[in-house]
Amino acid sequence: MNRRNFLESVTLGSAAVSTFSPVFSSPAQAESRWVAPSKGSNEFSADVVIAGGGLGGCAAALAALRSGLRVILTEETDWIGGQISQQGVPPDEHQWIETHGATRLYRTYRTAVREYYIRNYPLTDEARNRQYLNPGDGAVSRLCHEPRVAVAVLQDMLGPYQSSQQLTVLLEHKVISADTTGDRVRALKAVSLRSGKEIVLTAPYFVDATELGDLLPLTKTEFVTGTESKKETGELHAPDQADPNNQQSFTMCFAMDYVPTLRNKPVQHLIEKPKEYDFWRNLIPKLTPAWSGKLLDLSYSNPSTLEPKKLGFHPEGIATGSMLNLWNYRRLISKNNFKPGTFLSDITVVNWPQNDYMLGNLVGVSEKEFKKHVERAKQLSLSLFYWLQTEAPRPDGGQGWPGLRLRPDIMGTEDGMAKYPYVRESRRIKAVFTVLEEHVGAANRAMITGQQSGNKAADFYDSVGTGYYHIDLHPSSGGNNYIDFASLPFQIPLGALLPKRMENLLPANKNIGTTHITNGCYRLHPVEWSIGEAVGQLVAFALEKNVIPRAVREKKPLLEEFQNLVRKHGIETQWPK
């Protein structure tokens, strides 16, 4: 379809009531300020259009904006931030994050989060003066914080560009189709999930920072899903047979606190029994190797050994012997960091093995199927919460913690669930270069190099970033139990950010050139940010040099100049020795 016809279809379509209904309801927001090219026009243009306002999308936007580009950023929900906000997951990070292994801009974000709490919250003197404040003192991260604070900080970072109209943020807008010709994208069509109005977005470059790689099928960009076979990749942990429908579980996260008394009187916060509670209460996941027993239980499969492992739970945060107290795992607010009386309780996020949803996929399914699985995942999470309130074993021998309370205000929703599923796996581009397990997996790397100890990840001559996380694959829709093993501090190769064919579409989320296996260590918060920032810088560089992104990698002088540029902006391209 040529752009004129594409525009005409938008004009006709917006005259009628839209049949598209949002999966997630959210309060209306003020319309983004943007001056259309002419009165009544449905076309908006910029230097780059970024679909998806998660961490990768925000980082790509910030990198492009600091280079002087005009940016349009679309986001399906009413919160930017992706997994750190709309999905409710505090940052999963490596142990060196305070000093290296992430970009300077990402650490600026982290510093701004701490400063937000110091500026706005009644912290204790000890917490206020702590070098590395962790508001929740959660076990999973050195910076467990509330989703709304993530949104506020990101909005502060983007705010000046919005005020000057260098940046347009279109909240609650979803890209629904694309106009392509040959190896290039000409325009995207987006719909407002509030009004149903359709608009066309044009630019020299487009970035797919969506959570599921939604632009790839729309633009006919070649991609893969699910598991590749050992024959295809040669990976140590790859299965014998490929299965595009075998994808990692996703999770509907929720927040809760524990308030057993109010005004010195006992109080209960029991929710209505979820309609699918009996199903989830008795479900034993059908996995290979076998799960530890029922899903709703304080035991699970140890990710690294797959042996049954006991977990603890006590909502007052006290130790549960040698077992991990799940309450402390992803705690967002530790009340002891704040002056007495500020918080009635700690606040924790539930993103646990017990609410991983593995009975269906979000990628490659119809809208009806997508909604069905999201709704069932919500039922699973509500069932887990109800089980904690009524049946979970207590250290004193009793059952249930009726003082547990859902905190929908923390997630910014009415039902208490996150605005969007926590997505672990997306469509992945067929890239110029694909990161394999032999490049980053400790055991596979040792087999390839012959080094049994002290080996390091592969050096990529085209590195444009760094990251680290162990390879962590959650139970899958195809029946795999955890696949969890050691990786090595790695680099982000430019070749993995380049589709084999498309010239002006770039990925900036979990949709880069990894495999099902290596996605397990490239999917976390700081790595997604690093990917997005490199992509935003690449767009600006390609426009300045009047070359396509692939040429930057193929021509040594251009590559060296680009790598020097990203390093100048605080993007590390290699790990310290």
Q: At what angle do helices 104-120 and 55-66 cross, to 10 degrees?
A: 110
- The CA-based angle 428-433-434, given to 5 degrees, is 50
Q: Average pLDDT of 52-73?
A: 98
Express each pLDDT in 470-515 by its tens digit: 999 999 999 999 999 999 999 999 999 999 999 999 999 999 999 9
CA distance 265 to 279: 34
Q: Do 175 and 189 contact (CB within 8 A), yes or no?
A: yes
pLDDT band at 9 (very low <50, low <70, confident <90, very high): low
pLDDT above 80 (res 26)? no
Kindly tell me if the per-residue pLDDT of 277 is higher than 90: yes
pLDDT value, residue 103: 98
- Rounded-to-10 torsion of CA 396, 399, 403, 407: 120
Nearest to 532 by CA among 210, 194, 78, 288: 210
CA separation for the pair 99, 484 (Å, rounded) = 26
Confirm if 335 and 426 have CB atoms less than 8 A apart: no
Mean pLDDT, range 509-532, rounded to an integer: 98
Q: How far apart are the first and last CA of the chain?
A: 52
Q: What is the DSSP letter of 211?
A: S
The continuous run of DSSP H or E covering 130 comes out as: none
Number of H helices, E strands in the chain: 17, 25
CB-count exposure of residue 403 (10 Å: 0-12, 13-18, 19+): buried
d(CA 444, CA 441): 5
What per-residue confidence (pLDDT) applies to 577?
81
Average pLDDT, the chain: 93
Say if CB 191 and CB 198 are below 8 A apart: yes
pLDDT confidence of 36, banded at 50, 70, 90? Answer: very low
Sorting pLDDT into bands at 50, 70 and 90, what band is 18?
very low
3 state DSSP class of 79: coil
Q: Is the pLDDT of residue 16 over 60?
A: no
Angle (CA) 535-538-543 rounded to 5° is 135
Span 98-113, average pLDDT: 97
Find, among 217, 241, 251, the residue nearest to 516 by Cα: 241
pLDDT at 393 over 60: yes
Picking from 155, 79, 90, 148, the residue whose alpha carbon sits closest to that of residue 117 is: 148
Cβ 48 vs Cβ 206: under 8 Å? yes
Residue bearing tokens 């917006």: 14
CB-based burial label for 326 (10 Å; 0-12, 13-18, 19+): buried
- Give Cα separations from 448 to 290, 438, 452, 456 (angstroms): 31, 7, 10, 11
DSSP string, 538-558: HHHHHHHHT--HHHHHHSHHH
How many CB atoms within 10 Å of residue 453?
6
Nearest CA to 506 among 549, 565, 566?
Answer: 549
Q: In terms of Cα–Cα distance, which of 325, 562, 371, 349 is closest to 464?
A: 562
The neighbour count for residue 43, using CB atoms within 10 Å, is: 17
Q: Which phi and psi (to 5°) does residue 380 adopt?
A: -60, -50
Q: Is the pLDDT assigned to residue 256 strictly greater than 50?
A: yes
Q: How confident is the model at residue 1 (pLDDT cuts 50, 70, 90)?
A: low
Alpha-carbon torsion (287, 291, 296, 302), positive or negative: negative
Q: Are 431 and 501 in contact, with CB atoms under 8 Å apart?
A: no
Per-residue confidence at 264, pLDDT binned at 50, 70, 90?
Answer: confident
pLDDT (average), residues 411-431: 98
Of the ranges 31-40, 138-147, 444-453, which one carries the lowest mean pLDDT score?
Answer: 31-40
- My answer on whether omega of the bond before 289 falls inside 30° of 0, hence cis, is yes
Radius of gyration from C-alpha coordinates of the chain: 23
* Average pLDDT estimate for 69-85: 98
Average pLDDT value for residue range 285-309: 97
Average pLDDT over residues 25-52: 61
CB 261 within 8 A of CB 267: yes
The percentage of residues in the chain with a pLDDT greater than 70, rounded to a whole number, is 93
pLDDT higher than threshold 80 for residue 253: yes
**Which pLDDT score, from 0 to 100, does residue 471 have?**
97
State how far Cα 456 lies from the chain centre. 27
What's the rounded mean pLDDT across residues 285-295?
97
Q: What is the DSSP letter of 355?
A: G
Mean pLDDT, residues 311-328: 96
Banded pLDDT at 3 (limits 50, 70, 90): low
Q: Specify the range with the lowest mean pLDDT, choosing from 22-36, 122-136, 165-179, 335-349.
A: 22-36
pLDDT of 35 strictly over 50: no
* Per-residue model confidence as pLDDT tens digits over 433-464: 999 999 999 999 999 998 876 689 999 999 99
Q: How confident is the model at residue 4 (pLDDT cuts 50, 70, 90)?
A: low
Pick from 531, 352, 349: which is nearest to 428 by CA? 531
- Residue 86: which of 115, 57, 119 has the closest Cα? 57
Q: Is the pLDDT of residue 21 over 90?
A: no
**Nearest of 433, 440, 443, 444 to residue 457 by alpha carbon:** 440
Cβ-proximal residues to 39 (8 Å cutoff; 6+ apart), any chain:
none
How many Cα atoms sit within 13 Å of 357 on the Cβ side?
25
Residues pairing with 178 in the sheet: 188
Tell me: pLDDT of 25 over 90: no
